[in-house]
Amino acid sequence: MTNIPETGRSPRVQIRLIVIQVLVLSLLGTLGGRLWYLQIREGDQYAKEASGNHVQQVVQPAVRGSILDARGVPLADNETRLVVSASRTELMKMKDDGKAVLTKLAKVLGMTPKEVMEKVRLCDAKTPQPCWNGSPYQPIPITDEATPKQALQIRERAEDFPGITAEPQAVRRYPAPGKANTAQVLGYLSPVTDEEIKEAQDTDSPYLRSDMVGRSGLERQYDKQLRGKAGVTRYEVDNLGRVLGKAQSDPAEPGANLVTSIDARVQRVAEYQLDWAMKEARKVHDRNTGTNYKADSGAVVVMEAKTGRIVAMASNPAYDPNVWVGGISSKDYAKLTGKKSNYPLLNRAIQGQSAPGSVFKVIPTAAAIRAGYSFEGPYNCSSSYSIGGQVFKNFESQNHGPISLGRALEVSCDTVFYRLSHEEWKRDGGNKPKKNPNDWFYKTAHDFGLGEKTGIDLPNEVSGRVPDRQWKKDYWKANKDAWCKTGKKNGSYAERIAYENCLEGNRLRAGDSVNYSIGQGDTLVTPIQMATIYAALSNGGTLYDPTIGKAVISPDGRTVTEIKPKAHGKLPVSKKTLKAIDGALEGVATRGTAAWRFGGWPQDKIPMHAKTGTAEVYGKQTTSWFTTYTEDYAVVMTISQGGTGSGASGPAVRNIYNALYGVTEDGKIDKKKALLPEPQKSLPKVKADGTIKSPKIPKDPAKTAQPSPDASADPPADDQGDPADQQGATVPSPEAGNRDTRRRRRRGGGRPRRAARRPRTTATRRAVT
Amino acid sequence: MTGGVNSFQVSGYGPKRSGWTRLLARDSLVRRLDWPILLSALVLSLLGSLLVYSATRNRTELNQGDPYYFLVRHLLNTGIGVALMIGALWLGHRALRTAVPVLYGASVFLILLVLTPLGSTINGAHSWIKLPGGFSLQPSEFVKLTIILGMAMLLATRVDAGDRQYPDHRTVLQALGLAVVPMIIVMLMPDLGTVMVMAVIVLGVLLASGASNRWVFGLISAGAVGAVTVWQLGILDDYQINRFAAFANPELDPAGVGYNTNQARIAIGSGGLTGAGLFNGHQTTGQFVPEQQTDFVFTVAGEELGFVGGGLILLLLGIILWRACRIARDTPDLYSTIVAAGIVAWFAFQTFENIGMTLGIMPVTGLPLPFVSYGGTSMFAVWMAVGLLQSIRLQRPLSA
């Protein structure tokens, strides 16, 4: 064979043919190289992509566990509803982004097209509620209240409603048994966000796109237990989603049930009584402001004294937690969070902080004993106490003469505590403090658990504040620039205070120690902190972490994980002192400031202990505090701008006790009427099929507990007086609390607080209550 | 040129022998056939039938409920293709030369027919004629062949007659005119892929004809300038450009061509060295790759047979092209050279474009993989081309 054909073909053609051959081979070589690159070098990665391609997950949502009261009555459970949802991904594929479909849907559902479109738009910084803040890939519920007829209309004409589904779904329900709303304690759910999915990706409980997540209250605290595990079935599918085979299947595991220590009936009574007390307070004229009391918010806690378990916890204003179910409307959302809303989402029992006023006095009492003073005294309860020309007056300038600390608690004598606190302040070096001051009064507050969270099993508890030396320093550092800028020696009131603060705001002054001794000044506490302290006084000194969760019971009832009460400390007092304080607090209920509220109480059978407090808030009406305990329970109520401790909260608290123990109007005990004479010990039974045995509950347990006749009784003279000396209020945010009380304290450093503050009352007011 | 010499007669000289001896004699037709090409083409066609079957056995919307629908038809097409090859061999490429004007005219007439309402549209290209019995014809496949034959005839006549060493400008112009007419018609369908193949064929033919370098480079430059002009003047819509460029970046057209590219690459990439096994590929069973029995048939091989299977296809096509190049170089007359080189250009570019697009290195166009893709007309045309190559080889002097 020859490469030179006999035609004598020109070399040009011959060369070009070789060029063609080389080109052709290099093209094939390129293909071979690329093939090697894709299959051998990158093969693993593509294999992974391929498996993601042909596996589809079908998620069966887990049924969320119920939240039960102590006897098994569901406070939160699920019901089946017809849910109409829209798939955003489907809608966005349409030319008009699904507008036509949504308009048609609105007609069927009897909504306006605008409402429907707002429900399916995605939330972002510029989009106000309502909007969808869950994953855009998840079907978005438009309504969960579709009638069967509407659902049928949608399902029968599926071709007219592409991307729209109407299916029965388990939806959260807050049934409010016996009208016990329990809103803030229960919390609420909302769809999981993309960030949360990402964050939880590698944990042992990752979220699915369809998940609802607890956003507050118990729903959030116990979210992991309640949520269960969604079932995932992995199917191998083709490009059109047709199923070729089942790859893997994990069935859905329903969430566990949470048994709480809440008793729905007591909860209802507590809510009702708080609301009633606030309504009553609004009828009362406040001489200081010349208007009726506003009673804008309040809280009540009923705690098992021996365990720290919460039997009832109410916060007012409240709201209906069912508004969250199925997505909240803009109107409802504004009602809950708007400026005019007064923030009903806040659980003021753990998030409202205010100065405690006289209910604080058990702490300086214990502090004085620790500092070496005797309980018996006697101490002079004079009408006023002077420090370098400043006069701090007792309530209405009352003079009780020389008395013991116990009697000082009973009559809530301010001057006794002024003197003790001031003396200790001097002992610690006064204006030139020693290196290691004892600071008994502040240390004791810390030891009582103030300034720290109690550790209740609810999210976002606030810690309150003990205005000790360290806090003063920190606070001064944070604010001195602003103070020094605005402060003027001879300016307005606010400017003068700023000037004072700028100069010496970092120091604990004599006036500070005096104000602090009666729970005023910068002191802030929460109702749950006070409940914890008074429960400890009842149980022999143990400070329990308050708990609402009592047990987690698996859906089949087989596994029961009890949540045991945990203590976080002991009161720093001896048994003897404790007994003495206990006796004094009983005296408050029998012959002291709260006695007029417990007239006819079967004290011999159910020894009642109490302390009243009326705290002042700068620029606001006084906060009513009422802290009580028996052998079994501690009940603490507070009402912001509500008036005096015993006056505003007294009757309501007594009514709660009446309901608990079945005490009738004439002071007899009717065991049949008693809701919970002893704390509930046993746990409700969850049967293997998931049903729960629970007792029937009356329509409204509060109706059986009528307001006691004492409500209208005339208070004793000393309680009627203007309770101006205390301050504090359940305030919505710590910020606000700071501001209010800080001002007062500043002023207290100088003149007698009371007189300076309320020049029009010539009589000195005093702290008490 | 004498023309019309029957290849069988060429082989028939010498002492008469009989039976197997004659068949297997050194100078016999059987011995002189280019067996590597023949066998490679046959193996590719049979392999193709398996791949087509794998890709279509679950596609009920295509196979009308009969999983073997495409398998049977592919084998039938192969049979017809082989028959056409034998026919071409029987007639011989020289005999065909006299029929070139008729064949060319007929093929152009057919593609014009496609543009009339008789034609039908498949995948956006109006390039098919539906025939009774579920068959359809894609005449542009034949045009590739008749362009080669027609241009070869024009360019080679005077050179083979010994009048000139190279074709003159006028002849080149005539040849180009002959190619441009069907190219414009195909462009109107629009079938950009086929036009690209035709352009490469024209280039290959011109190269092999010995036409002046000015023509070769002139045409290349004209093509480049034309492409840039179209790009810059915005004659194409953005989406068309994106569609074209999506092979490099599937994001440009994720729902359209980008999807194909992506799925094809996943299918091939996941095959690894030995593949998932025939009929076991997830991408194939799950029908993630569109047009998998035709334009994207290579992905079946890539996924189910892996690098080994894909490499085998490349190897077989390489053998065909290598042998075809040899045939082009070894043949004595320019006409045969041009025909062989034109076929090389055709096969090579179509192979590169088809496999290249499944590998994501070439833009996606609707071109079949020779022998392997399902499609009757293409099968017929490539087998006819094989017949021509064999015929050209047979005319080679025995001494060679």
Q: Which of A2, A7, A38 sits opposite B359 (nearest CB)?
A: A38
pLDDT reported for residue A5: 45
Residues of A in contact with B344 (CB under 8 A): 20-21, 24
Rounded to a whole number, what is the distance in Å from the CA of B1 to chain A's nearest CA?
12
Instruction: Compute the Cα dihedral for A711, A713, A719, A723 and give only its sign.
Output: positive
Chain B CB contacts of A39 under 8 Å are 268-269, 271-273, 302, 306-307, 310
Vertex A522 angle, CA A295 and A643, to 5°: 20
Residues 350-379 on B with a CB inside 8 Å of A are: 351-352, 355-356, 359-361
Helix (H) or strand (E) segment spanning residue A634: strand A633-640
Q: What is the pTM of this model?
A: 0.63
Residue A655: the pLDDT is 93
CB A365 within 8 A of CB A405: yes
Give ipTM to 2 decimals.
Answer: 0.91
Put simply, whether A89 touches B (Cβ < 8 Å) is no
CB contact under 8 A, B356 and A31: yes
Nearest to B286 among A3, A10, A54 (CB): A54
Q: What parts of chain A have a pLDDT lower than 50?
A: 1-7, 707-769
CA-based nearest distance A2→chain B, Å = 6
29-48 of A, contacting B, C-beta below 8 A: 30-32, 34-36, 38-40, 42-47
B293 touches chain A (CB under 8 A): no
Question: pLDDT value at position B62?
Answer: 78
Contact A535, A310 (CB under 8 A): no
The count of other CB atoms within 10 Å of the CB of residue A288 is: 16
Of A5, A32, A40, the CB nearest to B314: A32
Q: Is the dihedral of CA B341, B343, B347, B353 positive or negative?
A: positive
CATH architecture classification, A56-255: Alpha-Beta Complex (3.90)
List the beta bridge partners of residue A349.
Answer: none
Residue B381, Cβ neighbours under 10 Å: how many? 25
Q: Cis omega before residue B117 (within 30°)?
A: no
Q: What are phi and psi of A244, to 5 degrees?
A: -100, -30
Measure CB to CB from residue A53 to each of B283, B318, B351 and give the nearest one: B283
Distance from the A151 Cα atom to the nearest Cα atom in chain B, whole angstroms: 33
pLDDT of residue A284: 92
Tell whether A688 is within 8 A of chain B (Cβ): no
Chain B, 40-59: which have a CB under 8 Å from a chain A CB?
58
Q: How far is it, in rounded angstroms, from Cα B213 to Cα A647?
A: 112
pLDDT recorded at residue A155: 80
Say yes or no: A3 contacts chain B, CB-CB below 8 A: yes
Q: Name chain A contacts of B302, Cβ cutoff 8 Å.
A: 35, 38-39
Closest chain B residue to the Cα of A237, Cα to Cα:
B286
Whether the pLDDT of residue B323 is over 90: the answer is yes
B265 interfaces chain A, CB cutoff of 8 Å: yes
The count of other CB atoms within 10 Å of the CB of residue B33 is 15
B286 → chain A, closest CA residue: A238
Please state, as a whole number, how many other Cβ atoms lie within 10 Å of the Cβ of residue A508: 26
Which residue, B329, B6, B363, B383, is CA-closest to B193?
Answer: B363
Residue extents of the structural domains in chain A: 56-255
The answer to whether the Cβ–Cβ distance between A25 and B331 falls below 8 Å is no
- Six-digit token string for A230: 């969604």
pLDDT at res. A567 = 92
Q: How far is Cα of residue A466 from the mean position of the Cα atoms in its chain?
A: 21
- What length is written for chain B? 400
Note whether A39 contacts B273, CB cutoff 8 Å: yes
User: Which residue of chain A has the CA closest to B211?
Assistant: A13
Position B25 pLDDT exceeds 70: yes
Interface contact A13-B208, CB threshold 8 A? yes
Tens digits of residue pLDDT in B119-161: 777 766 667 787 776 677 888 999 999 999 999 999 998 888 8
Flag if A35 and B345 touch (Cβ within 8 Å). Answer: no
Contact B266 A238 (CB under 8 A): no
Q: Characterize A233-257 residue by residue with b for buried, 16 or more Cβ atoms within 10 angstroms of its Cβ, and e for exposed.
A: bebbbbeeeeeeeeeeeeebebbbb
Using a 10 angstrom Cβ sphere, with 0-12 exposed, 13-18 middle and 19 or more buried, the burial of residue B221 is: exposed
